[in-house]
Amino acid sequence: MVLAESNGKATIGNFLPSRVRKAILLLIAFIISLYAQNFEERANSKTILDPKGVTLSGAGQDGCACANSFDNYWKTAPEGQKPVIFMDYVDPWHMRPNWSNDLKEKIMRYHRQGYYVLPQIGFKIEHDYKQINAGTMEKELDNFIKGFEYLAIPCYVRIGYEFNNIYKKYGGNNRDTAGYIACFQRVAKKIKESNLEIATVWCAGLSGESPVMQSWYPGDEYVDWFGIDCFADIYNGVHAVTIEMCTNAAEKNKPLLIGESSPMWMNGSNTGSLDWYKSLYKMVGEQPTIKALGYINWDWDIEDMNAGNLGFGWGDARLEAFPNVKEYFFEQLENPGYFHASSEQEFRALLDYNDNTPPSAVTGLKKDGNRLVWNPVEDNTGSKFAHYTIYKDGKLWDYMINPYYDIIDLGVGKSASVHVVAVDRAGNIGGKSSSLTVEQVNSINLIENGTFDLPRTTFENDWTFRAANDGKVAEDDFETDSTGKLTGPYSAKVTWTATPKDPAIWKLQLFQEFLVKKDHKYRVSFRAVADKEIKATVGFMANAIQYMNTHVQWGNDMDFENEWHKFNMWEVDIGTEAKTYNFTGTADRDEIARLSFMFGTCPGATVWVDDVSLINDYQNAIHINQPQLSHNYILNQNIPNPISTTTTIAYTIPKKTSVTLSIHTLNGKKIKTLVNTVQNSGTHQANWDATNMPSGVYLFRFKSDAFTAVRRCVVKR
């Protein structure tokens, strides 16, 4: 079905003979139909997180050195077409236990502005699939799941994405389809047992082995969504796997997600060629199983997963770099068949739960130190409990799955009025709890297990021990010591014997990672003692090699290590008398940083470290910049909704502009034009009489000179 409308009517002069006018209009309609891709009515399944009737728009990739690609896309996308899916990666081997903390922090910025944005995670299992299958990485898998619990936002997970590519460890000459399938099943089982809103995605690469179903399919009970990653020339010609995946997804009644898409080795892309994009949108339009589209908005010539490395040399794929590409791209996304970042209720309405009963009200809200607690809420009807929403001074603050919230990001000495509601998976919101004024009393120590007083197996989750790669020392040279050298039952103890060849190079490192924020001040404190006078280096370290929530070792170790840059480093004299050390530092960017202790720049010694703390002085902090979101144009939800007879749609424009407001079916067919005129700045409203319309979901589309938006409404009687 062609959804393009003829926009040319008003400009075709009435002085022309009607036949000529008609011919010109037909020609214009034809040209527009060439430009806008055919868009088949979307397939629907009852699969988890399958949005009824629409394809979700998404962008990335984030969690990388050049971590602003999602936000760059966000700024480029017109209002009403902001991406609803945020693409990121997690690697179980390098994964930090609290891997989702910074992901949530990034995503909540959009949520707090009223946009319900969902993560889509590429879960990289290729290096570890044998260990996962052997059951030796249960701790990592459990931490993976715990991360989603903390996120409390529905998520799509591509387990072992691009499984059919020969460069994967289970591909090529090592071709181990059974190993891959077993690993997918194991991870999917964990996800399903968690009962969280997570869709598992079986995602093929388009340049890999084909066919794939026979050899690589983990099974209907483990696979929620099919997926494909699209680079190079994606649809026209060579990629049989596209058709295979779409066809099989349709046969299995499962939706399909495009996990990654970006033009690669397109000579034309550096000059803004539209060929690749036309192919992409042709594919999405013609394949009704495609229910999500993720675009990688990168300059592949300069951006790499690792900062400091050269890019891949694939060309510049940033939409903002090429006006003609950008215009085409977002013109396609204007099709009402695409769904963009919107409210949580609008997103959840697409999940098609037959549930109009909200969860019960939250009761028993009270303080327990820095923690807020309340009575658990169930959703007894329909769709199941989704999450709690926590409001601070009436504004969305955070989500939780569990019935508690730690007040850690309010600011020491600051107070706020907090209330909590429960939300079900259909988007019904339960009654408000009572409001409670809370104050953040304590500074928050960002360091976990800084006292080392729990068994090593406990704090190994938090601290990383690393030996320089010269074979002289080992990570096992770190131990916990119970001889009462410093504070409490245990201290961290580090011994090295080697005399360094180069005294400037450390041999052993003890560190913990956390998210630092630009212009925030941090106070570092620790106690230390040594068996002789030594020098150590302590401080914030960050390198921009932040990929898959870790510092991935893309090349060899030394290349990796050389990419460090410093926030604040201190050379510390540690003597034979225990002493407390205090430092302050300020971060010069938002980044995953390490508080790092580096030893071994002098002949062999033993040093003990204890009571490590890192306090973010929020009261001095300049808060992180929120993304700039345009609120000049507003398209409000219609009132009342659902509609039994008539409804009113209000919208606001900041200047005099042409305005059209039209009603469409879910498939984009225009039913009625409510407004088509030039209007002055201000808030306007239009009424729609839906008396003769059958019950169902409809779209209303607002278009002005500089702004387009689409919302959904329901006719119900």
Which of 50, 91, 126, 610 touches Ca ion (CB under 5 A)?
610
Q: Which is nearer to Ca ion, 355 or 513 (CB)?
A: 355
Residue 714 Cβ, how far from Ca ion at the closest point, in Å?
17
Residues in 109-138 that interact with Ca ion by CB under 5 A: none
Question: Cβ neighbours of residue 619 under 8 Å, at least 6 residues apart?
Answer: 411, 412, 413, 414
Identity of the residue, 415 or 487, whose beta carbon is nearer to Ca ion in the bound complex: 487
Restricting to residues 50-69, name those near Ca ion by CB under 5 A: none
C-beta of 52 vs 169, nearer to Ca ion: 52
Helical residues (DSSP H) of 533-589, grouped into ranges:
557-561
Select the residue interacting with Ca ion from 451, 546, 549, 638 (CB under 5 A): 451
Residue closer to Ca ion, measured from CB, 159 or 446: 446
Q: What's the min distance (Å) between Cβ of 606 and Ca ion? A: 16
Q: Binding Ca ion by CB under 5 A: which of 40, 346, 453, 559?
A: 453
Q: In terms of C-beta density within 10 A (0-12 exposed, 13-18 middle, 19 or more buried), how is residue 378 classed?
A: exposed
Query: How far apart are CB 460 and Ca ion at their closest, in Å?
Result: 15
Contact segment (CB under 5 A) with Ca ion among 85-93, 156-164, 432-440, 453-461 equals 453-461
Q: Which is nearer to Ca ion, 209 or 424 (CB)?
A: 424
Window of 24-32, 152-160, 229-237, 610-618 that interacts with Ca ion by CB under 5 A? 610-618
| Residue 514 C-beta: closest distance to Ca ion, Å | 20
What phi and psi, each to the nearest 5 degrees, are found at residue 137? -125, 30
Interface residue with Ca ion among 253, 381, 641, 657 (CB under 5 A) is: 381
Minimum distance, C-beta of residue 478 to Ca ion, in the bound complex (Å): 14
Residue from 323, 455, 488, 575 in contact with Ca ion (CB under 5 A): 488
The minimum distance between CB 104 and Ca ion, in angstroms, equals: 25
- Closest residue to Ca ion, Cβ-based? 488
Alpha-carbon Rg for the chain, nearest whole angstrom, is 28
Amino acid at 637: Q
Contact range with Ca ion by CB under 5 A, out of 54-62, 153-161, 189-197, 423-431 = 423-431
What are the DSSP calls for 463-502, one per residue?
-EEEE-TTSS--GGGEEEE-S-SSSSS-EEEEEE-PPPSS
How many angstroms separate the CA atoms of 298 and 316, rounded? 7
CB of 490 to Ca ion, least distance (A): 5
Of the two residues 209 and 355, which places its CB atom closer to Ca ion in the complex? Answer: 355
Q: Site residues for Ca ion, window 300-359 (CB under 5 A)?
A: 355, 357
Please choose, out of 165-173, 195-203, 275-283, 482-490, the segment that lies near Ca ion by the rule CB under 5 A. 482-490
For Ca ion, the closer of residues 88 and 610 by Cβ is 610
Is the C-alpha dihedral spanning 343, 347, 349, 355 positive or negative?
negative
120 burial via Cβ count (<10 Å: 0-12, 13-18, 19+) = buried
- Contact window for Ca ion (CB under 5 A) among 104-112, 153-161, 446-454, 558-566: 446-454
Other CB atoms within 10 Å distance of the CB of residue 423: 23
Q: Which residues contact 37 (CB under 8 A, 6 or more apart)?
A: 278, 281, 282, 284, 285, 286, 332
Under the binding rule (CB under 5 A), the answer on residue 481 touching Ca ion is no
Rule CB under 5 A: is residue 704 a binding residue for Ca ion? no
User: CA 429, CA 358: separation in Å to the nearest integer?
Assistant: 5
Helix (H, G, I), strand (E, B) or coil at 437: strand
Among 316, 424, 477, 590, binds Ca ion (CB under 5 A): 424
Residue 242 phi, psi (nearest 5): -60, -50
User: Residue 436 — left, alpha, or beta (φ > 0 → left; ψ -120 to 50 → alpha)?
Assistant: beta
Q: Which is nearer to Ca ion, 142 or 378 (CB)?
A: 378
Can residue 487 be called a binding residue for Ca ion (CB under 5 A)? yes
Return the residue of 114, 382, 403, 654 that touches Ca ion, per CB under 5 A: 382
- Are the C-beta atoms of residues 38 and 286 closer than 8 Å to each other? yes
Q: Which of residues 348-367 bind Ca ion (CB under 5 A)?
A: 355, 357
Closer residue to Ca ion, CB minimum distance, 225 or 347: 347
Per the structure block, which two tokens stand in for 407?
């007040």
- Listed residue (274, 277, 340) closest to 86, CA to CA: 340
Our CB check for Ca ion shows the closer of 88 and 355 to be 355
Distance CA 541, CA 553 (A): 17
According to DSSP, the residues that pair with 59 across neighbouring strands are 86, 295
Q: Should residue 379 be labelled a site residue for Ca ion when binding is judged by CB under 5 A?
A: yes
What is the side-by-side strand order in the sheet with 605-616? 478-481, 491-496, 605-616, 521-530, 579-586
Q: Which residues bind Ca ion (CB under 5 A)?
A: 355, 357, 379, 381-382, 424, 428, 451-453, 487-488, 610
